[in-house]
Structure 1
């Protein structure tokens, strides 16, 4: 791994990435609180996740078209500005349907920022593996701090987490404005609006993209749905989890995501191999979700959620590296397509969680999440077999 010092531009973008992913998890510990304060059903509060994620996913496919026309820096700044505006709007609203709509607007900014940020970090770093490690580490740090900040501020008011996120994103905006240099815009580098969609069916990426979609369904099942089984387990035990309690649980989860992304994941890939690491950890994650589905008790739920963060951190870093190195497609295009697929898979989980829990009980969503993780293992194996055949064919032609 390169020992070259990390450039200020890389730090600025990764810090802003951490703040951005705080926006994903900041609502986790306040979902029950919003449901109570605004007389909203669990299905409505889950829409705070799914609306944000669906809008983000849909627009991420167009982020490369924007970035190759106005430049990465401008795209990052516009995305952050939109996030700040809509996070403030969520904080000032008093109606759950308005907040759901504002979360959709928030998703527009997130789409422009997140998918461009991965390309920006890769472009500003001399070592792609190190860049991906930093990006996924920032993702984990944001996921860790988001629920903690959300729980702490949510204990004061459910509006607090939205306001806090707006302030942090404004700080990220200023950091990028000062430390990230403007990128030259070359007409030859401009990409068609349909290129990210072509990447989805590119023979080198199609199976991996499908694997990323189903994996992120299983991943976001734990992230978006976990507060409800944890709260239910507490009630069954005669207690009551506060927003701060839930925030601390997800802080532990996010710390483990960061640990897996930055430390354990890269080391495991170096010593065991990147695909073996993904396969082995996916098996462990599947077992974890089955335990969460069947054992609705406070200690198993809390330990299972936190341990799941470690598995997610390892898999995220490894899968991102596999996908981004699988072809020579331009970074903006590959990043736009991959980010869109990740968020689209993630958006499906909270959307279906309410229905699945009403049909199959509190553990239903976790059982389905476990099935998607098994499907991910199968798809990664199929991609490996396809690449082995392709390599053998190339050797035979030489």
Structure 2
């Protein structure tokens, strides 16, 4: 299990097991973009039409979609490590077979096997990384997000370089790299206990009976239809060789990664999930229409595809957040149901696009993709109320909204408390102690709120702590302070993915409790991570009716406002640059 209260706070200070799986994640996330630069070469060398070549996407994604329904069932019976190993082994075998194949039909079939291995791998990799991390879950999540970004960005680049030598190169390259990852996983990843509760293979399908999950899943299906139409067919009108196609999709991948990690959370905190998704889907529709209208002009297609990376990065993050927010089922089950629908959309799109292109011309599939992006907007609107309730956590909110669970005795009635919010990291005790001194100075009781999150990354969700670990962390704070005569109580704030929603929930609780002050410490993950997930801080400052202060164990508490938050981030970044971090 992870050690959320360990001493290592740097994301780089992780055991070999985490690095082994992170490396495998990079190669896995390369899988889709890797073949983009060689699509025209495959068509030419194997005497295949673009519609035949597009089946590489369809077979891969449809098998991945169906397999997502059974991965939880498999993992709950053989354990996460064995599931990971089986997935890696299947990818090694089928990617090598695809490279050795001499026909397009053979490659399409072997890509289907590759999709099975990919489903087994991606559905368990995040959980294994978090469970194996010794530097706290925050560092593990950073590594997973970094692996995702690297895979998306480097996949097309590597595919272009290897594809420039031979169309077989990318397939053999994946097989070799995944073989290294397989050996590292066997050597370094420890045995992980099986889940206490086994998952039924029908659970994801039953979960789709919930209106919110089904609505967001259909929206994701339509979005992925447009996305994979572009991914599968945009290389042809660009009229570039494999090397230059790789560079184009690398630029696209860099925008996907940057906007997914850094921009999407900020937009979500400022405007809310649904409004940003409406605007983003409309933007994608416009970009897709531009590709369709300019399909005869390679430069137009190239620029439009690169620009689409910004919209896709935002959409990938917020669509997953929306699914998790409105899903009143276990997070792994919601992930499987969502994965099934989105991969089905991605798998059907290239096949239909190929049929349309053969029967009409190359612009029609792109116009259809623009239409599916537009159609996703009214589908999302059908679940708008559910999503808004989950985000605001009103009285009739969905059960996945941020929730507070009391630990210990209630706060002294009639006395405004000081509330301190902390996460699971090694500085938590020092931050709580600093807040206790602040409370003692004002004659106030202290309430410790331990923020326990479910990490949500690229369609996968995993709990960063068990109920027992979170309760143990809070109890340790209470026992330590009670021994010093501090009047103290505790709460556990459970949140799913959306940092801003957790910040708003804490602000409402502070208002209900009549809190004098809400305190929090500087993120142990550094200024970049603070910027990426600072929506918690922003939402807390914006919604809190009382004073919000930054507590530093080595300095006086600093009151924060929305106006001073930017200055705080700038100073933190300057300090890190001067210290060489």
TM-score band w.r.t. shorter chain: 0.7 to 0.9
TM-score by length of 2: 0.61
Q: What is the aligned partner in structure 2 of residue 81 from structure 1? A: 89
Compare 304-313 and 278-287 and name the one that shifted more: 278-287
* Deviations 1:308-337 (CA, angstroms, capped at 9, x unpaired): 111111110111122224335233322222
The alignment status of 1:349 with 2:349, answered yes or no, reads yes
Gap regions ≥5 residues in structure 2:
398-581
Q: What is the aligned partner in structure 2 of residue 299 from structure 1? A: 299
How far off is 1:128 after superposition?
8.7
Gap regions ≥5 residues in structure 1:
232-240
Please say if residues 136 and 316 of structure 1, whose CA atoms lie closer than 8 Å, have aligned partners that are also in contact: no
Match among 198, 207, 211 for residue 199 of structure 1: 207
* Deviations 1:295-318 (CA, angstroms, capped at 9, x unpaired): 121221111001111111111011
Compare 209-218 and 274-283 and name the one that shifted more: 274-283
Structure 1 distance, partners of 2:146, 2:280, is 17
The alignment status of 1:61 with 2:63, answered yes or no, reads no
The alignment status of 1:25 with 2:27, answered yes or no, reads no
Q: What is the aligned partner in structure 1 of residue 396 from structure 2? A: 394
> What are the within-5 Å matches in structure 2 for residues 200-215 of structure 1?
200-215=208-223
How far off is 1:48 after superposition?
1.4
Structure 2 distance, partners of 1:5, 1:328, is 34
The alignment status of 1:45 with 2:53, answered yes or no, reads yes
Q: Closer, same or farther in 2 for the Cα pair 1:172/1:314, shift >3 Å?
A: farther
Structure 2 distance, partners of 1:274, 1:264, is 13
Structure 1 distance, partners of 2:188, 2:72, is 22
* Deviations 1:330-384 (CA, angstroms, capped at 9, x unpaired): 3332222222222111101111111122344211111111111112222222212
Q: What is the aligned partner in structure 1 of residue 337 from structure 2? A: 337
Q: What is the aligned partner in structure 2 of residue 156 from structure 1? A: 165
Match among 172, 182, 190 for residue 173 of structure 1: 182
TM-score by length of 1: 0.88
How far off is 1:393 after superposition?
7.3
Q: What is the aligned partner in structure 2 of residue 190 from structure 1? A: 198
Structure 2 distance, partners of 1:112, 1:58, is 11
> What are the within-5 Å matches in structure 2 for residues 247-266 of structure 1?
247-266=246-265
CA RMSD, 1 decimal: 2.6
Q: Closer, same or farther in 2 for the Cα pair 1:265/1:393, shift >3 Å?
A: closer
Please say if residues 326 and 387 of structure 2, whose CA atoms lie closer than 8 Å, have aligned partners that are also in contact: no
Please say if residues 62 and 343 of structure 2, whose CA atoms lie closer than 8 Å, have aligned partners that are also in contact: yes
Please say if residues 91 and 159 of structure 1, whose CA atoms lie closer than 8 Å, have aligned partners that are also in contact: yes
The alignment status of 1:96 with 2:142, answered yes or no, reads no
Please say if residues 255 and 309 of structure 2, whose CA atoms lie closer than 8 Å, have aligned partners that are also in contact: yes
Q: If each structure's strand is expressed as a fraction of its own residues, which one has the higher value?
A: 2
Q: What is the aligned partner in structure 2 of residue 308 from structure 1? A: 308
Q: Closer, same or farther in 2 for the Cα pair 1:273/1:307, shift >3 Å?
A: same
Q: What is the aligned partner in structure 2 of residue 220 from structure 1? A: 228
Q: Closer, same or farther in 2 for the Cα pair 1:166/1:5, shift >3 Å?
A: same
Please say if residues 257 and 309 of structure 1, whose CA atoms lie closer than 8 Å, have aligned partners that are also in contact: yes
Q: What is the aligned partner in structure 1 of residue 243 from structure 2? A: 244
Q: If each structure's helix is expressed as a fraction of its own residues, which one has the higher value?
A: 1
Please say if residues 22 and 129 of structure 2, whose CA atoms lie closer than 8 Å, have aligned partners that are also in contact: yes
How far off is 1:21 after superposition?
2.1
Please say if residues 80 and 124 of structure 2, whose CA atoms lie closer than 8 Å, have aligned partners that are also in contact: yes
